Amino acid sequence: MTDIPQDHPRYESLLAREKVAAGVKMGITSIQGLIAQGRGESFDYLIGERSTESALYAERAAVAALLLAENPVISVNGNVAALAPEKVVALADITGAKIEVNLFHRTDTRVHLIIEHLKASGASEVLGKNPDASLDLSHDRRLVSSKGIYTADVVLVPLEDGDRCEKLVKMGKTVITIDLNPLSRTSRTATISIVDNVTRALGNMAKLAQEMKKEKKEELVKLITSYDNKKAIAGAISEIQEHLKTMIAEVEY
């Protein structure tokens, strides 16, 4: 990985780019993952590279759902494994969620490498190697574990493709997505749509989970029942608008 100086004004963004590129070299991230990261970066620019109010609103509801779930699962793909393996493990540990590798460009080698990478980051068990159940999809993301995604009541699917998100929702699951594009099919179909960078979102969620774990069950239930996903998505879009207005004012000045 290229050494990015910490005082570089675009440090976080460049570091993320290096991590995804390193993921490709390690065989963890798909080559298509580079394109996905680039798409994400452009939306992050428009959002202002911050966790917005609407993102934090969705992240709080998502953590409540994970804490109340009977069989919560965090689905990991090649980009998430490269960008935030420790944060995935931390969130799973605090919420009691299982971790399952689920890939669009699936190969047995990639699944193996990602599992080993997550274990090196502290995970004790990672599902996904020998999928024994199938979702009603025509691509490899259908291959899931009967102990994990297949029977999960709450699934966190960062950087998802809309297809599987829709299927999981139709199966009656609470589907939490993390996608910087508030207009994507994923964001529009999920139960809880977090419009934030996966690195920031997972960090925020791990912190929130630590605090919210001490709250009464009724408080967590209240957070979920009062949560309005349309409000979260509309909020994300208007936060982009507001940010662009500020940028216009700066350019005009």
Q: List residues binding ligand PTJ (CB under 6 A).
A: 30, 32-33, 36-37, 39-40, 43, 77-79, 83, 103-105, 159, 161, 178-181, 184, 197-198
d(CA 93, CA 111): 21
Quote the least distance from Cβ 7 to ligand PTJ, whole Å: 23
d(CA 27, CA 78): 9
Residue nearest to ligand PTJ (CB): 40
Quote the least distance from Cβ 170 to ligand PTJ, whole Å: 19
Please identify, using beta-carbon distances, which residue of 13 and 96 lies nearer to ligand PTJ. Answer: 13
Please identify, using beta-carbon distances, which residue of 29 and 220 lies nearer to ligand PTJ. Answer: 29
Give bridge partners of residue 177 from the DSSP assignment: 157, 193
Please identify, using beta-carbon distances, which residue of 39 and 68 lies nearer to ligand PTJ. Answer: 39
Quote the least distance from Cβ 79 to ligand PTJ, whole Å: 5
Quote the least distance from Cβ 235 to ligand PTJ, whole Å: 17
The answer to whether the beta carbons of residues 122 and 115 sit under 8 Å apart is no
Quote the least distance from Cβ 216 to ligand PTJ, whole Å: 32
Please identify, using beta-carbon distances, which residue of 39 and 119 lies nearer to ligand PTJ. Answer: 39
Enclosing H/E stretch for 158: strand 154-158
Please identify, using beta-carbon distances, which residue of 33 and 148 lies nearer to ligand PTJ. Answer: 33
The Cα-based distances of 145 to 47, 69, 97, 106 in angstroms read 35, 18, 14, 14
Residue 174 tokens read as 């609470």
> Angle CA(85)–CA(112)–CA(155) in degrees, nearest 5?
55
Quote the least distance from Cβ 41 to ligand PTJ, whole Å: 7
Please identify, using beta-carbon distances, which residue of 77 and 191 lies nearer to ligand PTJ. Answer: 77
- Select from 98, 106, 178 the least CA-distant residue to 135: 106
Please identify, using beta-carbon distances, which residue of 56 and 220 lies nearer to ligand PTJ. Answer: 56
Quote the least distance from Cβ 94 to ligand PTJ, whole Å: 20
The CB-side HSE value for 37 (13 A sphere, CA atoms) comes to: 26
Give bridge partners of residue 155 from the DSSP assignment: 73, 175
Enclosing H/E stretch for 73: strand 72-76
Q: What are phi and psi of 147, to 5 degrees?
A: -85, -20
